[in-house]
Structure 1
Amino acid sequence: MTLTATAVVDRYPTRIDGDPDLIDRTDPSVWDFTGAGPIDRATVAAHHAKGFSIHHDLLSEAEVAACRDELARLATDPGLADDSRTLRTESGEVSAIYDVHTLSELVAELVCDPRVLDRARQVLGSDVCVHQSRIEYLPGFHGKGAYWHSPFETWHAEDGMPAPRAVSVSIPLSGQEMTGELMAMPGSHRTFVPTSRGSGGVPGKEHLTRLADAYGIERFTDAEGSLLMFDANLMQGSADNITPFPRTNIHVVFSSVENRLCEPFAGGEPRPAFIANRDGTPLHR
């Protein structure tokens, strides 16, 4: 599919010269407050205020076990061993597999499950498509975390996502207590943090300190089978896993079909389709 030639105004400039200042977000974080969906109004309001919401016990124990088995199968699939969609740690262990909803019928069904899909559609107020899907394996002792970042900054700069009208859904399949759990700054989704040219999208320490002072930091240790939905622009990070226990989860990014990708806003070639899907086909049950 070719890139659209329609010019799009860049309301969130980033990867620029100098020391760019913070930008107030101009887009909604919730596009439908009517409660016409599986998320009750109180939870929708909390999601709007904090930039994330936790939906407990989404999957049954049997479903969690089936997902674990599927992740184990994919991690040992010889057909994916040298696939560009498979990432590995320095020791050779699988750390992530991208585009997983096209590789696994089970994950494809989960992506279109009303318990997942309808939540994304409700928050984004439209039909949605998959921007990115992956399964993550954080091995015990040496699983690497992720430094503070706003996913939207990367998707905007490198993929050409015009607006933060997208949500990430993470479903842990193992307990996250002390295994490099996700951390976020609640409310930080209301502020876009531009980065300097050559930074690779890493936010400056002064900006991070300002956000942390304003919003604080919250960590997520929710049980396996729950669903964490968080805004595309939420400032987040995760610690290394130094415990003996692995952490695994399914991660899907839903974007509004009205938020179609265009040319990357920071220039350069678009990233591969398995990282930034340009199809834009609406998902249906």
Structure 2
Amino acid sequence: MLTPEQIASYERDGYLLLPELFTPAEMAVVRRAASDIYAMNRPEVWRGKDGEFRLAFGVQHYHPVFDLFLRHPRLVEPTRELLGGDVYCHQYKLINKQPFGKLDFPWHQDFANWSKFDGMPEPRALNISVFLDEVNEFNGPVIFIPGAHKEGLITADVLPMEGIDQDGAHTIQGRELERIARANGMVAPKGKAGTAVLFHPYMPHASSPNQSPWSRSTIYLTSNRVDNHITRPTRPEYVAHTDFTPLRAVADDALLTYVEEAAAA
């Protein structure tokens, strides 16, 4: 359960940091599953022209650990609280910024893409980012502008993002960013593996390439209210899901139980 202070913080700032939401033992299970994904050759796994792993969509459909993680109560319950009702998985992806890699994300708002490409009616959704590795100032943390979600949709151009989005993405240009950043400042949430960040679909965010020798892997879950489901999907189902079944939480110890049962089998 989120505290009233945490809910107020999310509504005020547009994001909420939950340090070490998952234990080191739980994250070790998820990291091993991520290593399996990195080696796969599937349509859902996208790489840059040089072969660098960029991201993998819909990982719950082809790895049991990510299926359990998607439905973990520490992810499902906070989203239901903040969104005020049953939620389903709109998008679920694994992103890996390899050491000294090239992957970056320009300034954008996710709802601009969800609205245009998927037909999401309202911004009654949110992202949860869970750190699979420690995130520090050197390995490409995500940058937010606190409170900028209150701006609503910001004028943006649709630009190609090689190895990230086949349809391009709404990319916010400098003049608007300067105005908003000067008024609100910027933050880059950091923390140990297992830390989670929840953020609003109107939140402008960006990240630079990983300039360090340390990997920065992250799992992103986009939860959407069931009654706000998408209406005009134009992208593959593994990018924008059309199964609007409400997420039901598994047991809190599901990840560690999975390892124990696998070892006994």
Q: TM-score band, normalised by the shorter chain?
A: 0.7 to 0.9
Contact map agreement 2:140 2:208 (CA 8 A) in 1: yes
1:221: Cα distance to partner? Answer: 1.3
1:281: Cα distance to partner? Answer: 1.2
Question: Which residue in the other structure is 1:283 paired with?
Answer: 247
Question: Which residue in the other structure is 1:49 paired with?
Answer: 12
Q: Which runs of 5+ in 1 are unaligned?
A: 1-37, 265-269
Contact map agreement 1:130 1:280 (CA 8 A) in 2: yes
Question: Which residue in the other structure is 2:118 paired with?
Answer: 159
Question: Which residue in the other structure is 1:218 paired with?
Answer: 187
Q: TM-score, normalised by structure 2?
A: 0.86
Q: TM-score, normalised by structure 1?
A: 0.80
1:198: Cα distance to partner? Answer: 5.3
One-letter amino acid of the structure 2 residue matched with residue 40 of structure 1: T
Q: 1: distance between equivalents of 2:80 and 2:176?
A: 31
Q: 2: distance between equivalents of 1:128 and 1:141?
A: 37
1:93: Cα distance to partner? Answer: 2.7
Q: 2: distance between equivalents of 1:115 and 1:207?
A: 35
1:271: Cα distance to partner? Answer: 1.1
Alignment pair present for 1:74 and 2:37: yes
Question: Which residue in the other structure is 1:168 paired with?
Answer: 127
Shift of the 187–138 alpha-carbon distance from structure 1 to 2, 3 Å rule, reads same
String of CA shifts for 1:55-86, please: whole Å, max 9, x gaps: 11211111111111110012123xxx1x2210
Alignment pair present for 1:190 and 2:180: no
One-letter amino acid of the structure 2 residue matched with residue 145 of structure 1: D
One-letter amino acid of the structure 2 residue matched with residue 97 of structure 1: A
1:111: Cα distance to partner? Answer: 1.5
1:273 to 233, 237, 242: 237
Contact map agreement 2:99 2:213 (CA 8 A) in 1: yes
1:197: Cα distance to partner? Answer: 6.3
Question: Which residue in the other structure is 1:5 paired with?
Answer: none
Aligned residues: 239
Higher helix share: 2
Contact map agreement 1:193 1:207 (CA 8 A) in 2: no
Q: How does 1:88-127 map to 2 (within 5 A)?
A: 88-127=47-86
1:263: Cα distance to partner? Answer: 2.6
Question: Which residue in the other structure is 1:21 paired with?
Answer: none
1:196: Cα distance to partner? Answer: 5.4
Partner SS state of residue 219, structure 1:
coil
Of 100-109 and 163-172, deviating more is: 100-109
1:46: Cα distance to partner? Answer: 0.4
String of CA shifts for 1:168-227, please: whole Å, max 9, x gaps: 011111111110011000101111234356555112322111211221111111211011
Q: 2: distance between equivalents of 1:154 and 1:112?
A: 24
| RMSD across aligned positions (CA) | 1.5
Q: Which runs of 5+ in 2 are unaligned?
A: 160-168, 250-265
Shift of the 139–198 alpha-carbon distance from structure 1 to 2, 3 Å rule, reads closer
Q: 1: distance between equivalents of 2:129 and 2:158?
A: 29
Q: How does 1:244-283 map to 2 (within 5 A)?
A: 244-263=213-232, 270-283=234-247
Contact map agreement 2:129 2:221 (CA 8 A) in 1: yes
One-letter amino acid of the structure 2 residue matched with residue 117 of structure 1: V
Residue identity (%) = 26
Q: 2: distance between equivalents of 1:179 and 1:123?
A: 29
